[in-house]
Structures are given as C-alpha cells and as structure tokens.
Amino acid sequence: MDKRWFPGMEVLTALVALSVTLLLIVVTRRRARHRRPPGPWGWPVLGCLPRLGSLPNQTLAKFAKKYGPLMSVKLGSVDVVVASSPKMAEEFLKTHDGIWASRYAPTPARILAYDGNDIAFSEYGPRWRYARKIFMLELLTVKRISAFQGARKQEILRGINEAINISGDGAEPVRIDLILGKISMNIITRMLMNEGSLSEKAARIKNSDDFQQTIKEAFAVVNNFYLGDFVPWLDGLVSKKHMYAVFKKSDELFQTILDDHKVKLDKSRNQPDDVSTNQNKVQDIVDVLLTRPRDGDGQYLTELEMKGIILDVIFGGTETNSATVEWGLSELLRNPHVMEKAQAEIDSVVGRERLVEESDPHNLPYLNAIVKETFRLHPVATLLTHMSTEDSEIQGYRIPAKSRLLVNVYAIQRDPEVYKRPLHFYPERFLGSEKDVHGLDFDLLPFGSGRRICPGKGLGLVLVQYVMALFIQCCSLRLPGNLKPEELDMEEVFGLSTPRRNNLQAVVAPRLPRDVLIREAET
C-alpha cells in the first residue's frame, strides 16, 4: 500500500508486532508456570497404570533414573508428582510441608477408616490435628509405652517358646511370619484392651480366631488396588459389596470393644475407690479414649473417630512391625556373620544370665545398626502418599492444589549416590553415624517425615528393636534343609505394608536354657 494513502502504516505495523510479541510472552510464561515435571509416556485413559506392574515402587525408581528425582506420572486421569531423592523429599516434607500435609484416601481405605474419621487416611485440617494431638500426648506417650513393657516381653517370649516347640528344638522348620504376626497382634490388643479388665464376652472375642480373621480381612481390603480411584467413570461399575461387608464385621468388632469398656467404666464409677487395686492400674488405650474430658473449647472425639483410631493402632502396630522383623531375620539368615556379631555383642553387654530388656538397645550399637539397615533396605511404607491443599512451586514447576504426591522411599534408600553398595545388607554403615529414623534425615524415612510422620513411630521402633533383640539372644536360627543363605528368596509384595512374597521359614532351637525362657514368659 502506498504510504501517501496511509501515513500511519509504520506505527500500526509496530503496534501489531509488539502486541503479538507480548501475547507470545504471556502464553509462554503461562505454559511455563503450569508445565509439569518430565515423566514417562502413558496410554490413553489409563496413563502409566499398565506400566507400573505389581511393584510400582520399583518401576517408579527405574523411571526416576531416566526422568530425574522430580517427575510427573499420569495414573489414569490423575496427575501424580513423584519425589525420588533426599533433596526432593526435603522440599516437599519440610520446605513445603504445610502445603503437602494432606492425604488422599483410596476408596478401600476410606470405607474401612470411617470416611476419613481416623488419623492415617484423613485429610489435613483441624479435626486431624485434634485427633493426632490426643494420639501423641495421651495414647502413645513414653510413659504409657513403658507401662506395657512387661506385656510386650511376655508376648515375645511366648512366641519364641511356641516357635521352639513347633520346631521340635530345631528339628522342623517354622513359619516365622505366623509367629511374628501373633506376637504383634497380642501386644497391640493388650495395649488396647487390658486382659484383666475385659468382660467374658470381650475376652472371648479378643482371643478368638474370628478377631484375627476380621483384622486380616480388613487389612487385605485396605491393601486392595481400586481402579475407580484413577479412572472415575469406572467407579460405579465396580462392586464395593465385599469392602462394605468387611467394614461391617470390623465395625461390629470395634463397637463391641467400646461398649464393653463403657459398661466397665460405668461399674467402676458406681463403686467406691479401692486405692490398693487402682494405685498401679494402667489404663488401656480404649479407656483413655472414653474417659478423656472435653477440651476447653468444647472439642471431643466422636465414636466414629474413636473406632478410626482403634483401627489405626491395630493396622500400624501389627502387620507393619511383624513384616519389618521378618525382613530383619531374613537378612540375618542370609548373613550369618551379622547374626554372630549381634549375638556376641548381646552376650558381652547383657550376658547369658538374664534376658535383654527394652532399655538395653541403648547400649547395643550393632543391634541398632541392624535395625536401621533393615528399615533402610526394607521400608514397609515404600511410597509415602500426600496431597497438596494449595498451589505450590517446586524447582520452578507450578503444581496446582489437590495434586497427589508419592515420595519413593524405596528409591531414596537404595540410591547409590547416597549409600555405597545400596543393595547389600551392611549394618556397619550406621556404626558411628548420627543418622536416625526420626524423620530428620531425608535419606532414611521408614516412618515418613513432617506433619504426617507416623504417630506410632516411638512404639514401632521399640517393638522392632525388642523383638529382634530377644530373637537374636534366645534363638539359634538356620534355614531349612540344604537351603544356602544366598538362595533365600527375598522378593517383596507391594501394598500398605511390604511383606515378603514367600513367607520366611526357619528352624528354631533354643540358645538359652528352656526353663529360663518358659519362666520369663509366664512371669
């Protein structure tokens, strides 16, 4: 066009060019703000779900080697951020902990855990903080844990004696997982329900096979993978009938426990105090839940929340602890020199004239190193689940609210850049090290970290240490038949806990005089 006919053409052209440039800058920045971390390709509709396989923790660890310690994975219609290094774990669980302190409950867990009326599976908020405060400051205090020390010792020794009897003093192999599961269940139920104060009906329920079976079924339901959580349009097509049936059984069980304690407490209120009988009485966990007064601001626990806490105590104190000890004993059987060194330490510090007490591990550094190495190599919670409550910026990536996070503890604790020979069971790596399992070292996170660190961490650590210590001191363990240590299968199963794929079997013989073990078990 002739400039004589349109003298402002140059100005218009410059304005259009400037507008286009500004628009490109805005679009580019907006995309940059909303771009997600890199990650693997996925299938239409299902995303990466078909690629995860039966061991998602291991698959995600392999993905991280290609896409980095911060990656994005599409699972169905759900965008998930995965952290696979200590630095990334610290970023989410410490630097931005307040934003990522919530948790998404899968459908099976939501149904079994009273629609989030518990601690483990509930979203972050005032009710969660209130329930956790009670859990930490009243239910599992150091004083209360110490008060049940005698019960724990008795149940562990009963389990050891049962294993020795089944094995015929070292003639036949024993299912170690069954022994450890029974020990854990008996310890936790005694802390929940004092044996001496139960009614005949409640005691019969507690000691019945039906109780054990109901808890196993409930744990199996929570462990279930539910496709509808990732592909929402399938939610209405998948039956939840079995989930609700198991929930009904477990709810009736917990309601019976609560009702029985209510009757007992009512009777005690109507009777004059007997100082001689009440002076040394230890309240069990259910008593504490039922008798605590309303807070000054009027807050109190609902009955649903009480049952949710009971569920958490049972789940957190049984399967997870027994699975950890089973892994620890498996590693000792694969590494007999480690077992011998641990027994020599106990013999030197404790002697063979008395049994290990819960206070002794403070003076047993090699035992502590074995426990830490077990937690490192075989974390029960291999993937920590979190959810954001608001937008956050991590490493330059803008991650929207309600995003889901997986912290891959399995990958972190087997990272060759963090641990030399990471697949090797080597307790010596922790000797002289100040590294611990309390959530402050982000390369060792068996209990998690931050606000959502496992509230039962103190009890869990005590149980694992003490069960391991007594088995090491009291038992001579060996693999059955001609099975060589290096031939022991160490495959795992993914789930809420991470147990062995094939249950551990071992021949168990007494290492200390049987009369000592029997006497101590009945004391």
Question: Is residue 275 pLDDT above 90, yes or no?
Answer: no
Alpha-carbon distance 327 to 471, whole Å? 13
Question: Once rounded to an integer, what is the mean pLDDT over residues 380-389?
Answer: 95
Distance of CA 351 to the CA centre of its chain: 34
Query: Tell me, what's the pLDDT at 193?
Result: 85
Please give the structure tokens belonging to residue 210.
Answer: 């039906």
Phi and psi at residue 12, to the nearest 5°: -60, -45
H helices of 319-401, where? 319-334, 336-349, 365-377
* Whole-number pLDDT of residue 283: 83
In a domain? residue 220: yes
**Token output for 376:** 């490192």
Closest CA to 416 of 407, 429, 406: 429
- pLDDT at position 514 is 87
Render pLDDT for 139-189 as a digit per residue (tens, 0 to 9).
888 888 999 999 999 999 999 999 999 999 788 999 999 999 999 999 999
| CATH for 254 | 1.10.630.10
Cα-based angle 29, 102, 34 (whole degrees, multiple of 5): 10
**Residue 276, CA distances (Å) to 61, 199, 404 in order:** 59, 21, 54
3-state secondary structure of 229: helix
Asked if the structure places residue 13 within a domain, the reply is: no
**Residues tagged in the binding site annotation:** 454
Look at residue 95 in the predicted model and tell me its pLDDT.
96
The mean-pLDDT minimum among 77-86, 294-303, 502-511 falls in: 294-303
Helix or strand or coil: residue 82?
Answer: strand
Which residue type sits at 339? Answer: M
Sorting pLDDT into bands at 50, 70 and 90, what band is 264? Answer: confident
Which helix or strand (DSSP H or E) is residue 79 part of? strand 78-83
* pLDDT greater than 60 at residue 21: no
Ramachandran angles phi, psi of 218, nearest 5°:
-65, -40
**Residues whose CB is less than 8 angstroms from the CB of residue 153 and which lie 6 or more positions away in sequence, other chains included:** 355, 357, 358, 466, 470, 520
Task: Confirm whether 107 is domain-assigned.
Answer: yes
Spell out the alpha helix ranges (H) of 378-440. 409-413
- The encoded tokens of residue 69 equal 């310690």
d(CA 442, CA 326): 25
pLDDT, position 277: 45
Three-state helix/strand/coil letters over 445-471 = CCCCCHHHCCCCHHHHHHHHHHHHHHH
Cα–Cα nearest to 319, from 182, 205, 211: 182
Q: What is the pLDDT of residues 433-477, one digit of tens each?
A: 999 999 999 999 999 999 999 999 999 999 999 999 999 999 999
Locate 74 and state its tokens. 């599409």
CB-count burial class (<10 Å; 0-12, 13-18, 19+) for 157: buried
Q: Which range among 3-7, 118-122, 191-195, 244-248 shows the weakest confidence by mean pLDDT?
A: 3-7
Q: How many domains does the chain have?
A: 1
Q: 189-206 burial, b for 16+ CB within 10 Å, e for fewer?
A: bbbbbbeebbeeebeebb
C-beta atoms surrounding 312 within 10 Å = 22
Instruction: Please check whether residue 216 is in contact with residue 495, taking contact to mean a CB–CB distance below 8 angstroms.
Output: no
Q: Is the pLDDT of residue 522 over 90?
A: no
The pLDDT score that the predictor gives to residue 30 is 47
Contact by Cβ (8 Å): 361, 367: yes
Measure CA 277 to chain center. 37
Q: What is the mean pLDDT of residues 355-375?
A: 96
- pLDDT at residue 35, as a whole number: 77
**Could you say which DSSP state residue 158 is in?**
H
Cα–Cα dist 61/78, whole Å:
19
- pLDDT, averaged across the chain: 88
> What is the C-alpha separation between 231 and 353, in angstroms, rounded?
61
Give the Cα separation of 230 and 228 in Å (integer). Answer: 5
Residue 374 phi, psi dihedral angles, 5° rounding: -65, -45
457 occurs within a structural domain: yes
Helix (H, G, I), strand (E, B) or coil at 492: strand
pLDDT at 322 over 50: yes
Domain assignment present for residue 30? The answer is no
Which residue pairs, CB below 8 angstroms and at least 24 apart, start in 210-213?
211/253, 212/185
Q: What are phi and psi of 174, to 5 degrees?
A: -120, 145
**Confidence at residue 474, expressed as pLDDT on a 0 to 100 scale:** 96
10 assigned to some structural domain:
no
Read off the pLDDT of residues 22-65 as tens digits, 9 standing for 90 and up. 555 444 444 445 578 999 999 999 999 999 999 999 999 999 99
Instruction: Assess whether pLDDT exceeds 80 at residue 276.
Output: no
CA distances 494 to 42, 224, 332, Å, are 21, 10, 22
* Cα–Cα dist 146/358, whole Å: 9
- State which residues form the domain around 95: 53-522
Binding residues for heme: 454
d(CA 75, CA 72): 10
Residue 85 covered by a domain: yes
Looking at the domain assignment, is residue 38 inside a domain? no
DSSP reduced 3-state for 61: helix
Q: What percent of the chain has pLDDT over 90?
A: 71
Q: In the prediction, which pLDDT does 282 show?
A: 73
Q: How far, in Å, CA of 250 to CA of 308, rounded?
A: 11
Distance CA 347, CA 466 (A): 15
Residue among 399, 377, 467, 314 nearest 80 (CA): 399
Q: What is the mean pLDDT of residues 504-522?
A: 90
pLDDT of residue 239: 86
